[in-house]
Amino acid sequence: MTAQAEKQQYSFQAEISQLLQLLSHSLYQNREITIRELVSNASDALDKFRYVSLTSGQKQDADDLKITIDPDKESKVLNIRDNGVGMTREELVNNLGTIARSGSLEFLKKAQKAGDKDKAADLSLIGQFGVGFYSAFMLADRVEVVTRSYTEETGWRWESTGDGNYTISEVTEPVERGTSIRLHLKDGLDEFTEPVRLKYILRKYSTFVPHSIYLEAEHINNQPPIWVEPKNTVTEEQYLNFFEYLTHYPGQKPLWHLHLSADSPFQFYSILYCPDANLEKMGFGRSDHGLHLCAKRILVQNDNRDLLPDYLRFLRGIVDSADLPLNVSREALQDNTVFRKMQKVITKKVLDHLDSFSEENKESYLKFYKEFGSTLREGITADFDNRDRLAKLLRFGSTHSIGTSELISLPDYCSRLQEGQEQIYYACGTDPDAVLRDPNLEVFRSRNLEVLILTDPADEFILSHLREFDKKDIVSVDSADLHLPPKAEDASKSEEEKAEAEKAAQNVPENFDTVLRLIKEALGDQVQEVRRSERLTESACCLVNAQGSMSTTLQKVLRMNTPDFEMQKMILELNPNAELVQRLSSLASNESNYRFIQDCGQQLHANAMVMAGLAPNGNEMAARLQSFMLELASAKK
């Protein structure tokens, strides 16, 4: 041990024993923070010395500024040293003897008062609360500080066990400029002398400290903080290396990256990456948010949840800001207002990028959407302010692109609207082939009207929540709210001519109304209504949902997940042009056929349920079909 002059004992201010207990055991949530805080303080000291060397008018040796970590496993001591400004005896008393007094903050205030605000603003000072040093007592039962100020030749030793007192003594042997903090570790904390453990902590929290950190002669923080560099100076290789550093996905390339910076109303730097695979789709469960939050290059939070909305949680990256209102432990925020404003700015930047990306790189965007569209579309229900922007980024299958891998945007769909078309149409099913078999699509095929094809129930939920786009209502093809545009050939006809043309087109057979009545009587409260169809051109019947009801597919999903959910009553529509319906209308002229017509109506309803993916009463359906077969067999004799 270095020879010492007589020690002088002092008492901490403000019931220090209780306050140290709070700082070392309650304020910080894990012991690793001690390393982060002491390294940050060392970085501050180096920044101060560099500032002094530039502004004092005296030549100061500011080369080779560094932080050195020396673990001594045998003695159970961890030493953290810097060759920065150091401290005088008075500064030791003022800075280490008073809780929540920050030497860094005082230094910054003096620099600002001196009128050199530009250079003062460049100082990357972390510890502006003056409490980070005391986290040392989380690890140590005794702390030594040996320091020498750049302004004098005398070295000083500060020492305390955290019991309310500390001592200061002069070091009589030569001491290098700077500060050395020796932590005499508590029992059971030998891990903090293990190089592997220390390397993990340093790279986790302090990789981007703007000064070199050495552990056992190894340069630890050699990953450059490229987010603070101008975009035009960063190479693709650097972006890729940084992506691998953040994600630990070696050999993988991001789909895209976004390099951001802002100075007003607050300053931040950021790089965001979109991975090339969605882990949620691969069965790994819901992904955590992937943004690292830094304050002046020092890690504050992993997987921050406040800087991006939940529907952008797949992004990975880093956000670094000097304007974060952190609490004294720098582990949480004092005020979420800044975060909300910052999230708004970052979200806008991401959506701006996706807008241009979707237009300029359609194939790459399609790959992105197939991976992350299921997450992105959640924003329709969660982010009202950006709903219209997000709606433009959605993609769907369509009858316009059958047989291709192309997905359609809502703006694309609207660009092909027929004259007088006031709705956007969609159909749902388990797969495209099942959707195309839906009889509700017949009129759309005959009129060459485009229909979006949804095979994911979540897409239907999103569209039903969106409700409209570009002032066009979004409706399902099985909805009673369906309105078709006028036919082009009818545009010049009078209302009477249109009515006559419609009647001729429908070719409603005699006694058709009787058939409707008989079938409604047979079905009773199984349906809301039985009526003539204006959407069928080939099939005999179909089921449609009453006005304001959810679509059939969405109701089925709710029924599967909610046992008490009851399907809403549907409307059975009959096609008067279908051969079977016309035959039934002919039979309706004889009352003796009424029972047979009602049996046929029940079977038509069961058929429609099957086509809609619903389950009819199997026993009744089997008995009815057997009766029909028996009657047919008897007629063959």
* Domain locations in the chain as residue ranges: 8-219, 226-363, 494-635
Q: How far apart are the first and last CA of the chain?
A: 119
Beta-carbon contacts of 196 under 8 Å, excluding residues fewer than 6 positions away, are none
8-219 and 494-635 have identical folds? no
pLDDT confidence of residue 121: 42
CA angle 526, 529, 535 (to 5 degrees): 120
Contact (Cβ atoms closer than 8 angstroms) between residue 537 and residue 446 = yes
Q: What is the CATH number of domain 8-219?
A: 3.30.565.10
pLDDT confidence of residue 576: 93
Query: What pTM value is reported for the model?
Result: 0.75
Q: What is the CATH number of domain 226-363?
A: 3.30.230.80
Q: Which residues of the chain have pLDDT under 50?
A: 1-3, 15, 100, 104-105, 107-108, 117-129, 327-332, 334
At position 505, the amino acid (one-letter code) is A
pLDDT confidence of residue 1: 43
**536/444 Cα distance (integer angstroms):** 9
**215/228 Cα distance (integer angstroms):** 25
pLDDT confidence of residue 302: 82
Tokens read off for 202: 């340093």
Contact (Cβ atoms closer than 8 angstroms) between residue 270 and residue 281 = no
pLDDT confidence of residue 506: 55
Helix or strand holding residue 450 (H, E):
none
**322/6 Cα distance (integer angstroms):** 43
pLDDT confidence of residue 551: 73
Contact (Cβ atoms closer than 8 angstroms) between residue 352 and residue 305 = no
How far, in Å, are 39, 76, 192, 612 from residue 79 at the CA level? 11, 10, 10, 73
pLDDT confidence of residue 515: 95
Candidates 3.90.1210.10, 3.40.50.2300, 3.30.1180.20, 1.20.120.790; CATH matching 494-635: 1.20.120.790
Closest CA to 198 of 218, 223, 170, 171: 218
pLDDT confidence of residue 68: 97
